[in-house]
């Protein structure tokens, strides 16, 4: 969880989904390879993501300070985080 490599989306997704499973009780209904695939079945993705709003963090979860997802590349603002 230290620093995710933007070039390794599958590893990033795998780690994030594992943390969500461990600390939020959100089961991995889809595979990390599927979540980074731009052709993923939309219903599968929505089903997985729909679990997050009601998730409760378990005590002792490894929390990080909130950071802004906004980044700049060549003085152009990019919105969001590449998975």
pLDDT band, very low/low/confident/very high, at 71 (cuts 50, 70, 90)? low
Residues 31/40, Cβ–Cβ less than 8 Å? no
Q: For all residues of the chain together, what is the average pLDDT? A: 84
Can you give the pTM of this predicted structure? 0.70
Identify the pLDDT of residue 81. Answer: 47
- Which class in CATH covers the domain with range 9-78? mainly alpha
CA distances from 11 to 16, 36, 42, 53, 72 (A): 9, 10, 21, 24, 23
**At residue 61, does pLDDT exceed 50?**
yes
């Amino acid at each position: 969880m230290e620093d995710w490599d933007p070039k390794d989306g599958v590893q990033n997704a795998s780690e994030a989904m594992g943390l969500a499973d461990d600390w939020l009780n959100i089961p991995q209904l889809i595979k990390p390879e599927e979540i980074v695939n731009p052709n993923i079945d939309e219903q599968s993705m929505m089903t997985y993501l729909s679990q997050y709003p009601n998730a409760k963090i378990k005590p002792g979860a490894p929390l990080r300070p909130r950071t802004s997802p906004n980044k700049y590349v060549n003085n152009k603002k990019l919105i969001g985080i590449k998975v």
